[in-house]
Amino acid sequence: MIDYIKGEVAELTPASVTIECSGIGYQMHISLNTYAAINGKAAARLYVYESIRDDAHLLFGFAEKHERELFLQLISVSGVGPGTARMILSSLSSRELESVIASGDAPQLQSVKGIGAKTAQRIIVDLKDKIRFTDENGPATVPTKEGLNATGQAAVSALVMLGFIQTASQKVVAKIILENSSLPVEGVIKEALKRL
């Protein structure tokens, strides 16, 4: 099994990356969190999960070992495949996902595209006792739309209408407003589009 691949970032999109290592380009599917971690870097080291099927041999890359561990836990749940696990890890950071599972917040999981009520409950039940829920900063929290000011709420609504995931939009908008609270709605949306 490949543990990690380290090399030059040859191509990068929000959904995949090609890492060139010793003249070979390895294409890996990545989450938005991994994309954010390696965006703008000339080289990267990604931890790998190999998905070998009858019709395809796919690689999934992760900027952190912790994210890969959570991915492996997610795909161990019945009904959750690699694509769905990647979608969950694109919508929530590793720490946020742990917090959601720890608190049994099924509606938060259901906000992820492709996750229904039964799957959300199954993830919580199956993983509640298997996952570490906190880091040195304590439990992670996801900013709710109600926790944002009027500008933030308007920006999140616009991003959701453009097709972005609500949870990811809320997280990015909350960070932008924290950095610069005087930005108008249009400014927040433009900045969010660069980061999403």
**Amino acid 15: pLDDT:** 93
Cα Rg of the chain (Å, integer)? 17
- The predicted model scores a pTM of 0.67
**Number of domains comprising the chain:** 3
Beta bridge partners of 23: none
Beta bridge partners of 44: 7
Which of 98, 114, 139 corresponds to the end of one domain? 139
What's the pLDDT tens digit per position in 137-163? Answer: 444 444 555 567 888 888 888 888 777
**Amino acid 146: pLDDT:** 54
* Residue 71 and residue 56 share a domain: no
Residue 186 has pLDDT above 50, yes or no: yes
Tokens of 52: 């070998």
Cβ-proximal residues to 107 (8 Å cutoff; 6+ apart), any chain: 120
Top pLDDT among 134 and 172 is at 172
Q: Give the closest residue to 17 by CA, choosing from 2, 3, 36.
A: 36
- Can you tell me the distance from the alpha carbon of 49 to that of 120, in angstroms, rounded to the nearest whole number? 23
| CATH for 11 | 2.40.50.140
Tokens of 118: 């039964």
**What DSSP character marks residue 144?**
P
Q: Which domain holds residue 73?
A: 65-139
